[in-house]
Structure 1
């Protein structure tokens, strides 16, 4: 997916009702790496998001590994590039920060559209296209 995807407004549930977040899915791709506990295989997503359509967006990176049901934050950078945190793709040794259900649905639809998954939702473990088992 191209960095030219325009941001779309997403209503996100909050403690005080809801809020609009403008989200652009920059990319969703299959990724495989060797981790310290063995192979790390799943999807890698790069998002840009802001709460004001004209504001500079923040960059966020999420992964969803084969067998997982949620997108987990790997890195977050402010509009100026300031690193809020960066754990690396599929990090399983840090506190999980998960993507909201509303934004996860947008990323899920991009993964499905790109043919990276057979089916994807937030209730079932991720099965990649061509994955056995």
Structure 2
């Protein structure tokens, strides 16, 4: 699994369905051209949820909003999860 973490940072958002959502958001691009948008809300570590998946042609496979946990939770694969957590820790240490 070859991928590049393009964006990873903190995000806070208001939710229509409940309390304010605070956590991390990331965009990951795979060598195949597929793109995932992921989030890890505060208290969910070490898991990351896949909020949206896009094919190499940009076609959306599914799209949920940031931090949406009302639908099916799709967890990131272990190698991706580990890389995201390591990058998150690096960013948090610099803050």
Structure 2, unpaired ranges of 5+? none
Q: What's the TM-score once normalised by structure 1's chain length? A: 0.66
Post-superposition shift, 1:39? 0.2
Q: Structure 1: which 5+ runs fail to align?
A: 1-20, 118-128
**Cα drift, residue 116 of structure 1:** 6.5
State the match for 1:26 in structure 2: 6
1:71 aligned to 2:48?
yes
Q: Which structure's CA Rg is the greater one?
A: 1
CA RMSD of the aligned region, Å?
Answer: 1.6
Aligned residue pairs total 93
Among 67, 82, 85, the residue aligned to 1:90 = 67
TM-score of the aligned structures, taking structure 2 as reference length: 0.90
How do 1:1-133 residues align onto structure 2 when only pairs under 5 Å count? 21-35=1-15, 36-50=17-31, 55=32, 57-69=33-45, 70-115=47-92
Q: Answer 1 or 2: which has greater strand percent.
A: 1
Structure number with higher helix proportion: 2
Structure 1 segments, 4+ long, off by >4 Å, are none
- The whole-number CA distance in structure 1 between the counterparts of 2:5 and 2:77 is 14
Q: Which has the higher contact order (CA 8 A, sep 6+)?
A: 2
